[in-house]
Each structure stands twice: as C-alpha cells, then as structure tokens.
Amino acid sequence: MAAPMYNFSIPSALKAWIDQVTFPKMSLAPRRFVVTHARGGAYGPGTPRHPYDHQERYLRDFIQGHYAVDDVTFVGTQLVNSRLDPALAARRAQHDESRAAALAAARKLGSAL
Ligand SMILES: Cc1cc2nc3c(=O)[nH]c(=O)nc-3n(C[C@H](O)[C@H](O)[C@H](O)COP(=O)(O)O)c2cc1C
C-alpha cells in the first residue's frame, strides 16, 4: 500500500478504496502489509506533531484491528516539503537522510519478498 499523508491522514482515494474492498469480519491473515508513505513535515516520536499522525495510526489500527494482520511494516520519508518550502529548507538534510533510509529499507524488503 502506498499512502502519502494528506491533512494528517490518508488521501480520500485510498479511504474510498478501503471502503469498497472491506466487509465485516474480514481476516487477511497470514498475509503481511507493507505501507510506503511520505509526508511533508515531521511526525516521528518525540516531535510536537507526533500526536497528529493519523495516517500511520489509522492504517496500523485498521490493518491490525479489522484485517487481523499483525505483520505490518511502515517505510516512509518525512520533511518532503523541505525540498520546496523555504521555511523548511534548513531541514533538507533530515529529509535526505530519511529518504535514503526509506529507500534502503524498501530495497531490503523488496529483496526479502
Ligand atoms: C492535499 C494535501 C494535503 C497534505 N497534507 C499534509 C499534512 O497534513 N502533513 C504533511 O506533513 N504533509 C502534507 N502534505 C504533503 C504530502 O504528504 C507530501 O507532499 C507527499 O510527498 C505527497 O505525496 P504524493 O506526491 O504521492 O501525493 C499534503 C499534500 C497534499 C497535496
């Protein structure tokens, strides 16, 4: 699943897809989910915006709570907006670092899968 953060949550098109394909008591175990994501800002643990991360929180809760899949991996990059927004330009190095880590993790996961 690929899911950018839109307004602290997931894009409406992804929510519409979930609404279309989901039915009650739907177990997808023992499958696994890999969610690749991007967000303009920083929402990691310890950041002021961490409580606003309803993108990962929602997907993790829904995949585990409704699809009964415990094997969920999130691979993502943060501070994407530092590439465009002068107010975030000073944090570009943090974005580059998180992007490199995400690409490395995605390659590793891709090989394993
Ligand atoms: C409609 C919209 C809402 C967004 N809301 C947020 C947000 O709440 N927090 C954030 O950090 N980034 C936000 N962003 C930035 C995106 O998460 C970021 O640009 C991401 O890379 C977009 O991925 P995409 O190009 O695949 O759509 C938003 C972008 C758009 C277009």
Please give the sequence-ordered ranges of beta strands (E in DSSP) within the chain, or none if there are none: 33-38, 72-77
pLDDT at 95 over 90: yes
| Rounded mean pLDDT, 73-86 | 97
Q: Can you give the pTM of this predicted structure? A: 0.93
pLDDT at 113: 83
| Rounded mean pLDDT, 73-94 | 97
| Rounded mean pLDDT, 27-50 | 96
Please indicate whether residue 79, judged by its CB atom, sits closer than 6 Å to ligand 1: no
pLDDT at 49: 97
Question: Ligand 1 mean position to 66 CA, how many Å?
Answer: 26
Return all residues near 4 (Cβ < 8 A) that are at least 6 apart: 11, 37, 38, 39
pLDDT at 2: 95
Question: Ligand 1 mean position to 112 CA, how many Å?
Answer: 29
Q: Give the residue from 47, 9, 62, 94 showing the smallest Cα distance to 102.
A: 94
| Rounded mean pLDDT, 91-111 | 97
Please indicate whether residue 52, judged by its CB atom, sits closer than 6 Å to ligand 1: no
The CATH homologous superfamily to which domain 12-112 belongs is: Flavodoxin domain (3.40.50.360)
Do residues 53 and 21 lie in contact, with contact meaning Cβ atoms separated by under 8 Å?
no
Query: Mean pLDDT across the chain, nearest whole number?
Result: 96
| Rounded mean pLDDT, 91-97 | 98
Output the residue whose Cα is nearest ligand 1's atom 8.
Answer: 7
